A and B are shown apart, each in its own frame.
Chain A
């Protein structure tokens, strides 16, 4: 039986879709969708096959776009996607996660919303605003954004969120109360002696290892980390990598020890590929050792970055790995990261990449 492989590519000027078969050699580009709105993140809810795309437009504000037919037709909604009157309005929706019959959306300024009707309307998960450290949260370079959303595969009451630059927070009661999950992650930008705070870390991306809900991987502004206790404590895994700075992290679809990073040359060094030579780094042992993958990637004059939601894997075997660049190029590996092919170029700045595999 054939399988259709779909890449959802959020950009500064609309959502693009790339389609291929299970072989993933030839890709067809479609778009731009969502009326060229900046799309920060787009997913397919695997339970429904519906595309949801989160964005915000300078003219029209935040909204979640929806397509029930894999991009042929679209609608949008921001019903309920708002703070109370008098509070700072939402600028844009930044992140999406679907599971347990719900659709979650993270927004800027940082907050979490949930839809029980497939994205037609949203309700504020107000408990996150009531966490004691909330008044101390400060914005990162992209804003005070809730960008990482990790759902527990079995327990609908557990959610992890990543907020720049406030850190990781976890709820075990469906969003009523939240606790910081930042122990062991550094804040190099704070004065000496204050570098391991309770909160305030600049988390860039958090993902969960497949089949092991307590295993989380994190790319931080200040280091790469692994947690084996659901984020209660974090261990640095950056030894062997070319820098401690990067934006995305992507987990392998089946192997909980394997994940992928895109280290950049440093937060005050330009934030592009180290030595202007592009590489994706992978580990097969939970971050103990690292391998650089360069075959097919530019090895000179690669002054691009890869943003926090712009790397993903697919569920094929061998797994595909994909990343999009700030310069609008999309690279794909159909052999778990070993070799790479550029499958799109000249796109707007790529904000996010996600995958969806569906049987024909």
Chain B
């Protein structure tokens, strides 16, 4: 069976400093946002903790968009899904 098409994932620019060497755009084969985050953490240890809290849930001020819609960890990913992980408006 041919491998599923990977999702195209865009990571927040702030990750450049937090995870030296991490790519801004990355292709990952995953069937859900949870699987995608697990794979990101495997590639760049600690990345899960920056995206998710221990509930576990996507952090309050982090937004994961799948095909243009806000997603949760349970959101399924279709082959070739279009994913953005963004920092939300926050701070002072």
Chain A proximity mask over B8-37: 1 for CB below 8 Å, otherwise 0: 000010100110000000000000000000
In angstroms, Cα B92 to Cα A58, docked, is: 10
* Residues from chain B with Cβ under 8 Å of A154 in the complex: none
Check A58/B61 contact, CB under 8 A, given A35-B14, A63-B49: yes
Contact B46 A76 (CB under 8 A): yes
Determine chain B's interface SS by DSSP, over half rule.
loop
Interface size on B, residues (CB 8 A): 20
Tell me if B88 and A85 are in contact (CB < 8 A). Answer: no
Min CB distance A359 to B, Å, is 32
Q: Is residue B68 within 8 Å, beta carbon to beta carbon, of the partner chain? A: no
Contacts A59-B90, A76-B18: A89 and B46 contacting too (C-beta < 8 A)?
A: no
Question: Could you tell me the distance between the alpha carbons of A76 and B62 in the complex, rounded to whole angstroms?
Answer: 19
Whole-angstrom distance from the CB of B6 to the nearest CB of chain A? 25
Q: Which residues from A are CB-within-8-Å of B56?
A: 85
Pick from A76, A81, A85: contact of B55, CB below 8 A.
A85
Q: How far is the CA of A83 from the CA of B56 in the complex (A)?
A: 10
CB distance from A118 to the nearest CB of B (A): 16
Q: Find out whether the CB atom of A90 lies under 8 angstroms from the CB atom of B54.
A: yes
Q: Is the CB of A84 within 8 A of B90?
A: no
Q: Is the CB of A58 within 8 A of B91?
A: yes
Q: Does residue B53 face the partner (Cβ distance < 8 Å to A)?
A: yes
**Known: A35-B18, A85-B55. Contact between A61 and B50, CB under 8 A?**
yes
| B78 adjacent to chain A (CB < 8 Å) | no
Which residues 224-271 in A have Cβ within 8 Å of B in the complex?
none
Asked whether B87 is an interface residue with its Cβ less than 8 Å from the other chain, the reply is yes
Chain A residue contacts of B14, Cβ below 8 A: 35, 59-60
A/B interface sample: 12 pairs, CB < 8 A: A35-B14, A35-B17, A58-B91, A59-B61, A59-B62, A59-B90, A60-B59, A61-B59, A63-B49, A83-B54, A85-B54, A89-B54
| Interface residues of A, Cβ cutoff 8 Å to B | 35, 58-61, 63, 76-79, 81-87, 89-90
